[in-house]
Structure 1
Amino acid sequence: MADDAAVLRRTETGELSELNALNPYLQGLYEPVARETTALELTVIGEIPKDLHGAFVRNGPNPAHVPAGLHHWFDGDGMVHGVYFENGKAEYRNRYVWTSDYRAEQKGLEIGAGGVMLPSARARADSGRGDLVYKDTANTDLVFHNGSLMALWYISGKPVRVDARTLESMGNEDFGGALPRHVSAHGKVDPKTGEFCFFDYSLYEPWMTFGVVDAQNNLTNFQKVDLPGPRLPHDMGLTENYIILHDLPVVFTEAGLRNSMWQIKVADQPARFGVVPKNGKGDQVRWFETDTCYIYHVANAWEDGDEVVMTACMMTPNGYPPNPAYGPYASMVNVLALNAVPVEWRMNMVTGEVKKRQLDDRIGEFPVVNLEFTGRKTNWSYHVEMSKQELQRFAGLIKYDLRTGAAQTHRFADGVGGSEPAFAPRIGAVDEDDGYVIAFTTDEATGRSEVQILAAKDFEAGPIARVLLPARVPAGFHGTWAPGDRISA
């Protein structure tokens, strides 16, 4: 457990450096919290449904020490916030993710790597990190597999197993010593087979990999896929039989490659989706070219006759020039201003044709579905509604009908920021949308956080329950739902 004084809030102490006083992602909704908290008795406005059983968990950056030098939002140590529901009651916990780098720094050791605004460890002959080129934070994603969670880092790191009930770290996961390299964020679990399907990529070499881990935690497939050059994919798709890899035109600049710096550009080249049998070989990838674009997050993918279908949020220009008021953080703020719309791509495995259909023009991101339908046709997807401003802020939730693009909305109160939601099927659910949509929210003015629970079938009616939390939950990244009857004791 981190020392309570390890993180000092700027509003209380003024101890951020002059440099980081310009960094908006260390202040306001994004300020780290100083304590790990356990609360077993929570105040509820409304009533928690008794058929809601499991853990709603979310990962995000929470630096364990006050940053002194340049600090990117992605650099913070991973911290998981979770609410466990059972019999109409709720418990709250938050815990740091104990990566190897977190453990070393807690002991005062030099880890040989910094954050993404600094030269990577690749530039240091003495770093001793091999292909781990930045500080490994496991702060990006959470995947529920084999009875527990895995915390994952999107620039590819070592998965950390986390107990879904207590949120205590259980150690690095290497699948019985069989993992050849790393695991990126945004792997998927096939709900029918229990297989965890993942990808990984090299920052500086022209290849990526994909792999499959079975329900008993055995690595059953791991393959290398050659690429025309180094790529920076963020997500993947999964269907019943295929993995969909992304070769997208956001790449390192020549100076970034030369100096081992995270400096990126949009290249003049098409986007490509690589469809490969999930238990196939790397040279079996079939590539489909489409318009130049970048995709951070996939909602779902499935097979429909001869077509492989993928729905995702496609980035569009945000219209904001870099703001010099943020000093050295102007570029970071600009890149983080997500401006994406929901799009469906259909890849015909017979003809090679790609069809693209934009579902809506409103700005949203962080899509989630009922995970029991991962890799199978889904009718519904839940997204966060992005505020139209420079900072990455979630103003509400959008429920999409993926067949028509029709949308329903739930907006948070003024001054309140939300989080990526999760869909929780109710006990005894009879169809895809039979359950609840759950999200953390935080009031920026008061620092008060809560969990809102919405009935999925009555989405615009607002929360049926609000669970008030004893600690502030900073804005963060991705979460998931862990069904109560599948959480390992």
Structure 2
Amino acid sequence: MAATYCMTFQVNCSIERKPYSLSHKFDDFKTLFSSVFKPVLRDQVQQVRPPMHVDVSRTIKKASVKILDAFVDSVFEFADQPLLPSQNNFSPVEELKEAVLITDIEGKIPNNFREGVYIRNGPNPLFGGLKVTKSVFGRSSHAWVEGEGMLHAVYFSKDSDHGNWKVVYNNSHVQTETFKLEKQRNKPSFLPALEGDSLAILSAYLLNLLRFGMVNKYISNTNIFKHSGKYYSVAENAVPQEIDICTLKTLGNWDVNGAWKRPFTSHPKLMEIDWFMKWIRD
């Protein structure tokens, strides 16, 4: 009996200890399994259903801009601004898709004429011309010097074998940030804010600032200058835009590597004494 008891005890002990031992090891195994596979499962779940990140401020801003755009579209009416007879020379022209060879030339190009590119910068408004707006606030309009900048370039080169002249013409808008914005919208978006009734100008200032973060467009239509081997288009109200002189392509804004935070003068002077560019305010 004692032996049986002892055996029973041992068996009982072994039976009682065995579940305990297995349970303890199983818990350890679960911990190890979880530590190894949970990150993998979590990554797989995230790949299947990625977490949603909502930028509340950006969403509110986009909604506010849409509301303001709807208000402008319903309250303001855009119309073409008529040109005076003396301003007909400033009417907009179409932008070329590629350079064209000039074959019909009146007169003769002098033999000692310098080869190179002769370039002009001037206003060439989008959407058919300058605009005027009418609203409950009154009337506002552009000044005749406004309008997106367009470069007109004439390239002169001479055939070295026969001395014949080759003349090529090209033009292109200066693609400022506001030019690209209105081009993308495919309609006039900035309200004229230079001439007109006081209340209309004030409302144009406020609405342009709220919708675009600026009052007026970056027109870049006044001058083109060379600095350190590069060429730039410029106006008084913004930083210059770098231009590829061969293709007239806009390469981007030039802010002197982030050091310049305000508009440039449109008429910098090159001093022949030291050949340094002088930023002289006219």
Give the TM bin, normalised by the shorter chain. Answer: 0.5 to 0.7
Report if aligned partners of 2:232, 2:243 keep a CA contact under 8 Å in 1.
yes
**Shift of the alpha carbon at 1:86?**
2.1
Determine the C-alpha separation between the residues in 1 that align with 2:85 and 2:231: 26
- Secondary structure at the aligned position of 2:156 is classed as strand
Moved over 6 A (4+): none
1:124-180 C-alpha deviation (Å, 9 max, x unpaired): 562553xx53211001111122223211113x2121111222222111111111112
- Secondary structure at the aligned position of 1:183 is classed as coil
> Which residue does the alignment assign to 2:277?
196
- Secondary structure at the aligned position of 1:150 is classed as strand
Unaligned regions of 5+ residues in structure 2, if any? 1-77, 133-140, 159-164
> Which residue does the alignment assign to 2:245?
164
Determine the C-alpha separation between the residues in 1 that align with 2:99 and 2:193: 30
TM-score by length of 2: 0.55
Q: Is residue 85 of structure 1 aligned with residue 160 of structure 2?
A: no
Read off the aligned partner of 1:89 and give its amino acid letter.
K
Report if aligned partners of 1:26, 1:73 keep a CA contact under 8 Å in 2.
no
> Which residue does the alignment assign to 1:182?
263
Determine the C-alpha separation between the residues in 2 that align with 1:133 and 1:168: 26
> Which residue does the alignment assign to 1:116?
194
- Secondary structure at the aligned position of 2:255 is classed as coil
- CA 24–51 in structure 1, closer or farther in 2 if over 3 Å, else same: closer
> Which residue does the alignment assign to 2:123?
61
Determine the C-alpha separation between the residues in 1 that align with 2:185 and 2:86: 22
Q: Is residue 126 of structure 1 aligned with residue 210 of structure 2?
A: yes
Determine the C-alpha separation between the residues in 2 that align with 1:184 and 1:55: 23
1:441-485 C-alpha deviation (Å, 9 max, x unpaired): xxxxxxxxxxxxxxxxxxxxxxxxxxxxxxxxxxxxxxxxxxxxx
- Secondary structure at the aligned position of 1:157 is classed as coil
Report if aligned partners of 1:142, 1:152 keep a CA contact under 8 Å in 2.
yes
Q: Is residue 43 of structure 1 aligned with residue 104 of structure 2?
A: yes
Between Structure 1 and Structure 2, how many residues are aligned?
A: 181
Read off the aligned partner of 2:114 and give its amino acid letter.
L
**Shift of the alpha carbon at 1:199?**
4.9
1:209-266 C-alpha deviation (Å, 9 max, x unpaired): xxxxxxxxxxxxxxxxxxxxxxxxxx2xxxxxxxxxxxxxxxxxxxxxxxxxxxxxxx
> Which residue does the alignment assign to 1:97?
174
**Shift of the alpha carbon at 1:74?**
1.7
Superposition pairs of residues 70-469 of structure 1, within 5 angstroms:
70-87=141-158, 88-108=165-185, 114-117=192-195, 119=201, 123-124=206-207, 126-127=210-211, 129=213, 132-154=214-236, 156-191=237-272, 193-199=274-280, 235=282
Read off the aligned partner of 1:149 and give its amino acid letter.
Y
Report if aligned partners of 1:101, 1:111 keep a CA contact under 8 Å in 2.
no
**Shift of the alpha carbon at 1:102?**
0.5
RMSD: 3.0
**Shift of the alpha carbon at 1:194?**
4.5
TM-score by length of 1: 0.33
Richer in helix (by share): 2
- CA 166–42 in structure 1, closer or farther in 2 if over 3 Å, else same: farther
**Shift of the alpha carbon at 1:28?**
2.8
- CA 104–199 in structure 1, closer or farther in 2 if over 3 Å, else same: farther
- CA 48–97 in structure 1, closer or farther in 2 if over 3 Å, else same: farther
Read off the aligned partner of 1:116 and give its amino acid letter.
L
Read off the aligned partner of 1:137 and give its amino acid letter.
I
Report if aligned partners of 1:75, 1:115 keep a CA contact under 8 Å in 2.
no
Read off the aligned partner of 1:102 and give its amino acid letter.
F
Determine the C-alpha separation between the residues in 1 that align with 2:183 and 2:111: 40
Report if aligned partners of 2:121, 2:223 keep a CA contact under 8 Å in 1.
yes
- CA 76–128 in structure 1, closer or farther in 2 if over 3 Å, else same: closer
**Shift of the alpha carbon at 1:85?**
1.6
- CA 26–63 in structure 1, closer or farther in 2 if over 3 Å, else same: farther
- Higher Cα Rg, which structure: 2
> Which residue does the alignment assign to 2:69?
none
Determine the C-alpha separation between the residues in 2 that align with 1:25 and 1:101: 29
Determine the C-alpha separation between the residues in 1 that align with 2:86 and 2:206: 27
Determine the C-alpha separation between the residues in 1 that align with 2:266 and 2:242: 14
Determine the C-alpha separation between the residues in 2 that align with 1:97 and 1:54: 21
- CA 192–150 in structure 1, closer or farther in 2 if over 3 Å, else same: farther
- CA 197–111 in structure 1, closer or farther in 2 if over 3 Å, else same: farther
Read off the aligned partner of 1:103 and give its amino acid letter.
K
Report if aligned partners of 2:142, 2:192 keep a CA contact under 8 Å in 1.
no
- CA 102–199 in structure 1, closer or farther in 2 if over 3 Å, else same: farther
Richer in strand (by share): 1
Unaligned regions of 5+ residues in structure 1, if any? 1-15, 201-234, 236-489
1:380-438 C-alpha deviation (Å, 9 max, x unpaired): xxxxxxxxxxxxxxxxxxxxxxxxxxxxxxxxxxxxxxxxxxxxxxxxxxxxxxxxxxx
